Every structure is written in structure tokens, then in C-alpha cells.
């Protein structure tokens, strides 16, 4: 089954007013593969201004980098999926390794955030991945399947979820899983989906790779059977992001 290629750009805590304008305008002016779905996730304060710059553009969507699992309340510094829905932000990244490691989010908290987003009809980029220590112990697949098991309790409609496999040891380090390493884990995720939701629905779910993806390595990764796109960090702030979007051209 042919799945629409998906490329997300996670800007993380980077940018400025002039920088987000430059990045958005460069994307608007670029030739992007018509068969790729593109989502950019600026910092919260740039979400609505970026959305305004993209008005009338149906090629690039806006996503948030995180959202809390409560709809409102005394949670200083947080935003909710209800707010994203109100602002017509269509995607949110949940469970990124930096949220899990730096901010100590548990699998249970990730599941609650997934549930809250889907309840508001905000689509989810669900991040999973293992540490270097877990990989060296041979536990990569065990870890990511455990993370999926925890989040799956909150998912009734997998058509609104993109799974992002991001080995923690490859994020921002310059190290990249080989195409064989990445495909092995992606295939295991696909097998898990088949058992969880059936062959037909499992074939429709997109599984994307993240971890030091660049213009130099994106094409060989994109050629793998179960790699359906990328979640891009640092390279999403550079002109080569266009090359990554166009990895299958």
C-alpha cells in the first residue's frame, strides 16, 4: 500500500521573529513534492504568526511541539489541545525524547496527552525511541513496543496518528541509525500494528524516522519499505529541509 510521505519540522526552542518569517517564506517559495505531507512545529509564540504567513497555502501545515492533557486550569506555562483546536492548529508532537528525558514525562503522561489531543481532533505525531544503553543491551524493540503499548490505550483512530521512531542516541548527535537499523525497528512497529489493529489498518499508519536526518542521508532512509517520512530537528532550520521533503523525488 502506498502511504503519503510525511515530513515534520520540529524547530524546538529556536528562532526569532525574523527567523520564523525567513523559514516560512523560504518554504512557501520552494518546490515541494506534491506527494509529501509537510508539517512545521515552531515554538508556541510563533504558531499563530506562522499560520498567518501560510494563509492560502495548502501545502504546509502547522503543529505544536507539545500540549498538556488538561483542557484548562492553573497550569502555568502550559497550553492545551483544546487551545490548539481553538487556534486551528492541526497537529501536535507528543512524547518527544526531550520531553521524556529532560522533563521526565512518563509513558502514562504521554498516553494522557495523546488522549487529550485526539479528543479535540488534533492529530498526533507520537514519538518513541530507545537510549544508547538500551540499544547496546539489545532492548531497542522491547522499549519502543512498550512505549507503543502504553500509548495505544488512548488511540481509537490510528488514521489521526503518525508514529515517529527516534532513537534517543541519534537525536542532535550527528549519529544516524543505518538504514538497516532503522528499517528493522520500523518493521517491528508495523508488525505490532498488525497485531493491534489488523493488517489493513496497520498498512495505512505512517511510521517516520527522526534522528540527525539530513539532506545527505534522507534518500537512502526514505527508500526503506517501512520508513514513511521523517521528523526533522536541526535540519528543519536550514535550506536542506526542502531536500528532505523531496527525498522521494
Q: Please, what is the Cα angle at 148 between 143 and 152, to 5 degrees?
A: 155
Kindly indicate the confidence band of residue 2, based on its pLDDT and cuts at 50, 70 and 90: confident
Residues 6+ apart with CB under 8 A from 220: 179
pTM beyond 0.85: yes
The string of pLDDT tens digits covering residues 41-69 is 999 999 999 999 999 999 999 999 999 99
Mean pLDDT of 228-242: 97
Q: Give the active site residues.
A: 96, 166
1 pLDDT higher than 70 = no
Q: Over pLDDT 90: what percentage of the chain?
A: 92
The string of pLDDT tens digits covering residues 94-106 is 999 999 999 999 9
The string of pLDDT tens digits covering residues 27-44 is 999 999 999 999 999 999
SS (H, E, C) the chain: CCCCEEEEEECCCCCCHHHHHHHHHHHHHCCCCCCEEEEEECCHHHHHHHHHHCCCCCCEEEEECCCECCCCCCCCCCCEHHHHHHCCCCEEEECCHHHHHHCCCCHHHHHHHHHHHHHCCCEEEEEECCCHHHHHCCCHHHHHHHHHHHHHCCCCCHHHEEEEECCHHHCCCCCCCCHHHHHHHHHHHHHHHHHHHCHHHHCCCCEEECCCCCCCCHHHHHCCCCCCEEEECHHHHCCCHHHHHCCCC
Q: Give the domain ranges of the chain.
A: 5-245
Mean pLDDT of the chain: 96
Which residue would you say has higher pLDDT here, 167 or 172? 167
CATH among 3.30.930.10, 3.20.20.70, 3.40.50.720, 3.40.50.10440 for 5-245? 3.20.20.70
Whole-number Å distance between alpha carbons of 15 and 43: 8
Whole-number Å distance between alpha carbons of 237 and 67: 22
Kindly indicate the confidence band of residue 170, based on its pLDDT and cuts at 50, 70 and 90: confident
Kindly indicate the confidence band of residue 173, based on its pLDDT and cuts at 50, 70 and 90: confident
Amino acid at each position: 500500500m502506498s502511504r503519503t510521505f510525511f515530513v515534520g519540522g520540529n524547530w524546538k526552542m529556536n528562532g526569532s521573529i525574523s527567523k520564523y518569517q525567513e523559514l516560512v517564506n523560504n518554504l512557501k517559495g520552494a518546490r515541494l513534492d506534491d506527494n509529501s505531507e509537510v508539517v512545521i512545529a515552531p515554538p508556541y509564540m510563533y504558531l499563530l504568526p506562522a499560520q498567518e504567513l501560510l494563509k492560502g497555502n495548502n501545502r504546509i501545515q502547522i503543529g505544536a511541539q507539545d500540549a498538556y492533557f488538561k483542557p484548562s486550569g492553573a497550569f502555568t506555562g502550559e497550553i492545551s489541545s483544546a487551545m490548539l483546536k481553538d487556534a486551528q492548529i492541526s497537529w501536535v508532537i507528543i512524547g518527544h525524547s526531550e520531553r521524556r528525558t529532560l522533563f521526565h514525562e512518563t509513558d502514562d503522561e504521554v498516553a494522557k496527552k495523546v488522549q487529550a489531543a485526539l479528543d479535540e481532533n488534533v492529530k498526533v505525531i507520537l514519538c518513541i525511541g530507545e537510549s544508547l544503553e538500551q540499544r547496546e543491551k539489545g532492548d531497542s524493540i522491547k522499549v519502543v513496543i512498550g512505549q507503543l503499548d502504553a500509548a495505544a490505550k488512548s488511540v481509537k483512530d490510528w488514521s489521526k496518528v503518525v508514529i515517529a521512531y527516534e532513537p534517543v542516541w541519534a537525536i542532535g548527535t550527528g549519529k544516524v541509525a543505518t538504514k538497516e537499523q532503522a528499517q528493522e525497528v520500523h518493521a517491528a512497529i508495523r508488525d505490532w500494528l498488525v497485531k493491534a489493529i489488523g493488517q489493513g489498518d496497520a498498512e495505512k499508519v505512517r511510521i517516520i524516522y527522526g534522528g540527525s536526518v539530513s539532506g545527505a542521508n534522507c534518500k537512502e532512509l526514505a527508500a526503506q519499505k517501512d520508513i514513511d517520512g521523517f521528523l526533522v530537528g536541526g535540519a528543519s532550520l536550514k535550506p536542506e529541509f526542502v531536500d528532505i521533503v523531496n527525498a522521494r523525488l
